[in-house]
């Protein structure tokens, strides 16, 4: 059985935020989404859309300087948004509390390459890239995501 691989064209920031909200509806505690993309590709916009939909925070701050922002979803599930851009050594990660968050929280990680061996193997990966007509989103994950994302379409 193969995993999941989905591609979506996103015409603007609002479409990127809607993707975050729609994908968030399919997540549960213990799920991690690795957000991959160059600066300006829309990782934080995606995260803000998900945080708004799940935690009711409309203008969530970027964790660029705090490294980690924590929220609680409407059903009480912890939601953690981490931006690891400023992490220079994998040893710095222990202080962030991500290992515990991976167990029971919905975790969004920008710059997941900084995780090294700590990245959850069952994580879902969202790769955002700039395109002539906005952005492209590529979602990929293992077999555990196939049924959960069957029929997924952020456009409704």
CA–CA gap between residue 139 and residue 62 (Å, rounded): 22
Domains, the chain, ordered by start? 4-145 (3.40.50.300)
Q: 140-149: per-residue pLDDT in tens?
A: 999 989 989 9
Q: At what angle do helices 13-24 and 43-55 cross, to 10 degrees?
A: 50
Q: Tell whether the torsion through CA atoms of 136, 151, 140 and 15 is positive or negative.
A: positive
Put simply, whether the predicted model's pTM sits higher than 0.85 gets the answer yes
Per-residue pLDDT of 5-46, as tens digits, reads 999 999 999 999 999 999 999 999 999 999 999 988 999 999
Contact in structure between 52 and 74 (CB atoms under 8 Å): no
């Amino acid at each position: 059985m193969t995993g999941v691989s989905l591609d979506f064209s996103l015409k603007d920031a609002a479409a990127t935020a809607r993707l975050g909200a729609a994908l968030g509806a399919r997540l549960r505690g213990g799920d991690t989404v690795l957000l991959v993309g160059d600066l300006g590709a829309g990782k934080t916009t995606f995260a803000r859309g998900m945080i708004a939909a799940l935690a009711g925070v409309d203008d969530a701050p970027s964790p660029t300087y705090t490294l980690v922002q924590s929220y609680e979803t409407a059903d009480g599930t912890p939601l953690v948004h981490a931006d690891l851009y400023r992490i220079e050594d994998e040893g710095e990660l222990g202080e962030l509390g991500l290992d515990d968050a991976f167990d029971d929280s919905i975790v969004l990680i920008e710059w997941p390459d900084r995780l090294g061996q700590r990245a959850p193997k069952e994580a879902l990966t969202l790769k955002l890239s700039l395109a002539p007509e906005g952005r492209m989103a590529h979602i990929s994950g293992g077999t555990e995501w196939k049924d959960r994302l069957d029929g997924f379409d952020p456009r409704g």
